[in-house]
Amino acid sequence: MIPVTRPGRKRSEESRQAILTAAAELVAEVGYAGLSIEGMAARSGTGKQTIYRWWPSKADVLLEALAEKADLHIPIPDEGSYAADLRAFLTASFALGRTPQVIAVLRALMAEAQINPEFGVRFRAGFLHRRRDALGVLVDRARARGDLPPVPRPATVADLVFGLIWYRVLATRDPIDDDQIDELVTLLTGAD
């Protein structure tokens, strides 16, 4: 058994919060490209070393700041049918991305994940997989009910749902209207 109580000063929760807050404020003010560790340290009144000690990159700070405020595991209670479950999930997901600040951070993190492969691994594990798993719960539930149409296959459902969401966020950049939720539900449940 490892002695968990190490000697020395404890990590400062105050500094941690100050850094997360500074990161969120700065990215809103100067954009992700203008965000720097140096700037975060200055704004938060901490030292650069304190940031480097706990986070590997500026993207990881943002990821933690995001996780702090938005629970990514939004559980979907059983709504009775696959269609109802799906509609609930989509509505909740779109609500998550309705705040421009969150969208901006998501765009930046997805971008960083492409450019910095190590962060990519962490971003997939810490964000993308969690969202995918949340959807997986619904699909499994539907499968158990025998509610699932033959096309698309369960594995493809996530690709279509998240593909559409991310494509709108990253490429077309206009918000998803509610009509599209109905359209998607219809398409995926095989209803007419």
Interaction site with a second copy (CB under 8 A):
31-33, 107-108, 110-117, 124, 128, 151-153, 156, 159-160, 162-168, 170-172, 180, 183-184, 186-187
Minimum CB distance to a second copy smaller for 83 or for 113: 113
CB closer to a second copy out of 67 and 110: 110
Neighbours of 168 (CB within 10 A): 16
The span from the CA of 143 to the CA of 137, in Å, is 10
Q: How far from 150 is each of 71, 73, 143, 182, CA to CA, in Å?
A: 32, 27, 10, 19
Question: Which secondary structure element, helix H or strand E, spans residue 155, and what is its range?
Answer: helix 154-167
Pick what 16 binds: DNA, a second copy, none; C-beta below 5 to 8 Å, kind-dependent: DNA
Beta carbons within 10 angstroms of residue 137's beta carbon: 15
Q: Which does 100 bind (CB under 5 to 8 A by kind): a second copy, DNA, none?
A: none
Residue 128 binds which of DNA, a second copy, none (CB < 5-8 A, kind-dependent) = a second copy
Number of residues that bind DNA (CB under 7 A): 28
**3 interface partner picked from a second copy, DNA, none, CB below 5 to 8 A per type:** DNA
Return the closest-CA partner of residue 20 out of 176, 12, 188, 123: 12
Q: Which of residues 166-185 bind DNA (CB under 7 A)?
A: none
Position 16 contacts DNA (CB under 7 A): yes
Site for DNA in 39-58 (CB under 7 A): 39, 45-50, 52-54, 57-58
How much is the CA Rg of the chain, to the nearest whole Å? Answer: 20
Q: Which two tokens stand for residue 46?
A: 């901490």
- Closest Cα to residue 43, out of 21, 12, 63? 21
Contact residues for DNA, defined by CB under 7 A: 3, 5-12, 15-16, 18, 34, 36-39, 45-50, 52-54, 57-58
